[in-house]
C-alpha cells in the first residue's frame, strides 16, 4: 500500500481574482479577464492584449523594502503560499518545520528583473545593478522566499518544465511525501512574464491571439476560429500532506492526489509531437499510477491553449487514450478565461480540479462559437455545468516537449485504496 497524499489548503492570485474564492467564482461564471496590456506600451506589438493580475500592491503586502527584493513572480508565489497555509489552518512550529517543504516552480523565472537590470547596466553602468539581481531571477526564488517566510526547512527546489511546471511540481511534491521525505509540501507554480522581452518573443513566434479589439473573446480554445493563446500571469499553491499527518492534526481534507504522469515528446522545441504520442503516454501513466480505469475519469481540465496545433493534438490524444468513452467525458479549458499562466497554469488548473470535486461544478470553455471538426469532444461550451465526479484529470504541455498529467479524487472515496 503506497502512502496516500491529500490536499488540505489552496491559495492563488490570478487574472480572475486575488484569492481562491473570487477566482473560482469568476471561473464558474465564465467571466473573461483579458484587456489591453497596461504593464508596458504594447501599442506597436502584433498582440496588444493580455490577462493581467489586477489591484496587486506588493509594497503594502510585504513592505516596500522586502517587495523590492522579489521579482513579481516571487511576490505572486509567496502571496499564494500564504493564502494556502492559512486555508489549511497549518500551524508551523519547531516540532514540524523540518518536515515541511516547498516546491514552487516557474517556467521563466524573474524575467521582469532581468529586463530592468539589463537596462540599468546599459544606461547607468555595472555598479548600479541591484546586488540582489541574481537571487531575484532564479526560478527557485518563489520557493526559497516561501521557506524563509514560514521558516520551513524540508525539501525545497524548483522545477522548470515550461508550461508543464505547475503540474510537475504538484506531482513531484506528492512523490516526496510518498517517499517519506516530508509530511507536508507547499506545491505550485508562479509566473509573471508580461514584460516587453517575453511578449516580443511570443509575438515573433506568432503564437498569441490577435483579437486586439475584442480582448474578452481572444482566448477561444477548441473553437474553429481560434488564433493563438492569451498570455496571463499569477500563481497557485496547494498544501499537500500525507493522509496520516492530515488526520492526526484534524485537517479539513479537500481532495486526494491519485495519479501522476510525466513524459517528454523528444520531438520539437515548441511544437507537440504528431498524434500526441507524449501526451497519450502521460495520461496513460497517470491512470496506471492511480490504479484507475478509463471510465472512472469524470472530467478533464485540458491544457487547451487556443492555439490551432495544441488543441487539435490534445483532442486526438484524449480520443486515443479513452477511445469511444472520450465523447462522454466533459473537457474544458479555463485558459479561455484566465489566459495562459504558463509555469503557473498547471498549478491553477489542479486547484480547479479540487474545486470541481468540492462544488460538483465544471467550469466552462468560453468563446466557443464555431465547432471545429478536428476538435469534436464535449468542451462544456460557454456555461458551467453541474456534475458530481469521483476522479478528475488535468493536462499540461510545455515547450521542450514536456507533458504532465495529474488526477485528483474526491475524499473520502467509496473504495479507498
How do strand 331-332 and strand 184-191 relate by DSSP bridges? unpaired
* CA–CA separation, 250 and 257 (whole Å): 18
pLDDT tens column, 365-393: 999 999 999 999 999 999 999 999 999 99
pLDDT tens column, 16-26: 999 999 999 99
pLDDT exceeds cutoff 80 at 150: yes
| Active-site residue, 12 included | no
Answer whether 362's CB lies under 8 Å from 253's CB: no
pLDDT tens column, 327-369: 999 999 999 999 999 999 999 999 999 999 999 999 999 999 9
Question: What is the pTM (predicted TM-score) of this model?
Answer: 0.96
Active-site entry in 12, 203, 282, 340: 340
Q: How confident is the model at residue 274 (pLDDT cuts 50, 70, 90)?
A: confident
| Active-site residue, 282 included | no
Q: What confidence score (pLDDT) does residue 10 get?
A: 98
The secondary structure of 83-132, three-state, reads: HHHHHHCCCCCCCCHHHEEEEEECCCCCHHHHHHHHHHHHHHCHHHCCCC
Q: What is the mean pLDDT of residues 274-302?
A: 97
Q: What confidence score (pLDDT) does residue 415 get?
A: 44
DSSP H or E stretch at residue 396:
strand 391-398
pLDDT tens column, 182-211: 999 999 999 999 999 999 999 999 999 999
pLDDT exceeds cutoff 60 at 144: yes
Q: What confidence score (pLDDT) does residue 1 get?
A: 80
Active-site entry in 12, 163, 203, 282: 163
| Active-site residue, 402 included | no
Which domains does the chain carry?
A: 5-248 (3.40.47.10), 259-409 (3.40.47.10)
Active-site entry in 12, 203, 245, 303: 303
Amino acid at each position: 500500500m503506497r502512502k496516500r497524499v491529500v490536499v488540505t489548503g489552496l491559495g492563488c492570485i490570478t487574472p480572475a481574482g486575488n484569492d481562491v474564492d473570487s477566482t473560482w467564482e469568476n471561473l464558474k461564471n465564465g467571466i473573461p479577464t483579458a484587456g489591453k496590456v497596461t504593464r508596458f506600451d504594447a501599442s506597436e506589438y502584433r498582440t496588444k492584449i493580455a490577462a493581467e493580475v489586477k489591484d496587486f500592491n506588493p509594497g503594502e503586502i510585504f513592505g516596500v523594502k522586502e517587495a523590492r527584493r522579489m521579482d513579481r513572480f516571487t511576490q505572486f508565489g509567496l502571496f499564494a503560499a500564504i493564502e494556502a497555509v492559512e486555508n489549511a489552518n497549518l500551524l508551523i512550529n519547531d516540532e514540524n518545520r523540518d518536515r515541511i517543504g516547498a516546491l514552487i516552480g516557474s517556467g521563466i523565472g524573474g524575467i521582469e528583473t532581468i529586463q530592468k537590470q539589463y537596462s540599468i547596466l546599459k544606461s547607468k553602468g555595472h555598479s548600479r545593478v541591484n546586488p540582489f539581481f541574481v537571487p531575484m531571477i532564479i526560478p527557485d526564488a518563489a520557493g526559497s522566499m516561501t521557506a524563509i517566510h514560514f521558516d520551513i526547512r524540508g525539501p525545497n527546489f524548483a522545477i522548470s518544465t515550461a508550461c508543464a511546471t505547475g503540474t510537475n511540481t504538484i506531482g513531484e511534491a506528492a512523490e516526496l511525501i510518498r517517499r517519506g521525505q516530508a509530511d507536508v509540501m507547499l506545491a505550485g507554480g508562479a509566473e509573471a512574464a508580461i514584460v516587453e522581452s517575453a511578449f516580443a518573443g511570443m509575438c515573433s513566434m506568432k503564437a498569441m491571439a490577435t483579437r486586439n479589439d475584442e480582448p474578452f473573446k481572444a482566448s477561444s480554445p477548441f473553437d474553429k476560429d481560434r488564433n493563438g493563446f492569451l498570455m496571463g500571469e499569477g500563481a497557485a499553491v496547494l498544501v499537500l500532506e500525507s493522509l496520516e499527518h492530515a488526520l492526526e492534526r484534524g485537517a479539513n481534507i479537500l481532495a486526494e492526489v491519485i495519479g501522476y504522469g510525466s513524459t517528454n515528446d523528444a520531438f520539437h522545441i515548441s511544437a507537440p509531437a504528431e498524434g500526441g504520442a507524449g501526451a497519450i503516454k502521460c495520461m496513460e501513466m497517470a491512470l496506471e499510477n492511480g490504479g484507475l480505469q478509463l471510465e472512472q475519469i469524470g472530467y478533464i481540465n485540458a491544457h487547451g491553449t487556443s492555439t490551432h496545433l495544441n488543441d487539435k493534438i490534445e483532442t486526438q490524444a484524449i480520443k486515443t487514450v479513452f477511445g469511444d468513452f472520450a465523447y462522454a467525458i466533459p473537457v474544458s479549458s479555463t485558459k479561455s478565461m484566465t489566459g495562459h499562466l504558463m509555469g503557473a497554469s498547471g498549478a491553477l488548473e489542479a486547484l480547479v480540479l479540487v474545486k470541481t470535486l468540492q462544488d460538483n461544478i465544471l467550469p466552462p470553455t468560453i468563446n466557443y462559437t464555431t465547432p471545429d471538426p478536428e476538435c469534436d469532444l464535449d468542451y462544456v461550451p460557454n456555461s458551467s455545468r453541474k456534475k458530481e465526479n469521483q476522479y478528475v484529470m488535468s493536462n499540461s504541455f510545455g515547450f521542450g516537449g514536456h507533458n504532465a498529467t495529474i488526477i485528483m479524487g474526491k475524499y473520502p472515496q467509496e473504495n479507498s485504496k
